[in-house]
Amino acid sequence: MTDRRETPRRPKRKPGQQRRKPSPKSRGQSAEPDWQYGERIAKYLARAGVASRREIEAMIERREIRVNGRVLTTPAFKVTGSEYILVNNQPVTKSERVRVWRYHKPSGLITTTNDPEGRRTIFDELPKSLPRTITIGRLDLTTEGLLLLTNDGGLARAMELPRTGFERRYRARAHGQITQAELDTLKEGVKIGDGTRYASISATLDRETGTNNWIDVELKEGKNREVRKALEHLGLKVNRLIRTQYGPFELGDLKPGAVEEIPPNLLLSTLADRIPAEHLPPPREKPTRRKRTHVRSRVHKPQRRTSLKDKKHD
């Protein structure tokens, strides 16, 4: 007598209930990715350190980005992280942990990825061992000093926003005659000739060297050429400008052209009160100490050898 195999009976459908269609996976077809869990391509690439969101959107307009072999034509496209993405024919790796570097920018370099006029950029001079990075803020051609680099576009954007309130400090050498009272007028804000208005700027006259003055400047907005234009409004001509601090990070004794990474624990502790946690490296978990089980070992003392002298006493 052969064994009888029964197939499971399908449950009866209720009146008015439609028949359930088989899923693409059950029919041998690959299911479409669930795009509701994806994120916009510009945000994804910014977090990967490719460029800022605006620059990425410009790249999309120039047809410089490919996703799985297709040229991307809209910034509304979403990715899940499993796609093969090319930016200017260079593959994009998945975003790593957030990292930030201090860089002492020399004068004469452009703070962009490429320059239409063919001038040297900071990325031409950075060490080749450095991963793909973008700048936090910018410095113009002749401005030198502290420039922060990061591999995370979200962090760069968060640190640049005026509402974050990060101070920028500069050392300016300016030609002309000026008094501290005149510099103090910048504290109330100023509107220059082209209509641009700057918020409060703190400027302190440090010393005079002939017809030049060394001035310490502190501001929070960081608009384009703000220090130069504000001092020119007072009749000064800036001939050297050095940024010495951006937020909690200082230039210190970093030599021109040198790059130094900020330790993750320092990055987290100094930015946690102003920057959302999603843009910061995760805190390091403290290693759990295993409880040691003390096993009392029996120590066998070596037996004392009897000498001839001992035998005489026996």
Terminal alpha carbon distance of the chain:
94
- Which residue in the list 140, 152, 206, 216 is annotated as catalytic? 140
Asked about 140 being catalytic, the answer comes back as: yes
- Distance, CA of 277 to CA of 267 (rounded, Å): 11
Residue 180 tokens read as: 């501290």
3-class DSSP assignment, residue 306: coil
| Interatomic CA distance for residues 263 and 5, integer angstroms | 66
- From 161, 156, 160, select the one nearest 51 (Cα to Cα): 156
Nearest alpha carbon to residue 150 among 120, 126, 125, 169? 126
Contact between 258 and 126 (Cβ < 8 Å): no
Q: If we measure between CA atoms, which residue out of 250, 238, 134 comes closest to residue 178?
A: 238
CA distance 259 to 149: 9
- Give the 3-state secondary structure of residue 132: coil
Identify the DSSP state of 89.
T
Q: Which residues are catalytic?
A: 140
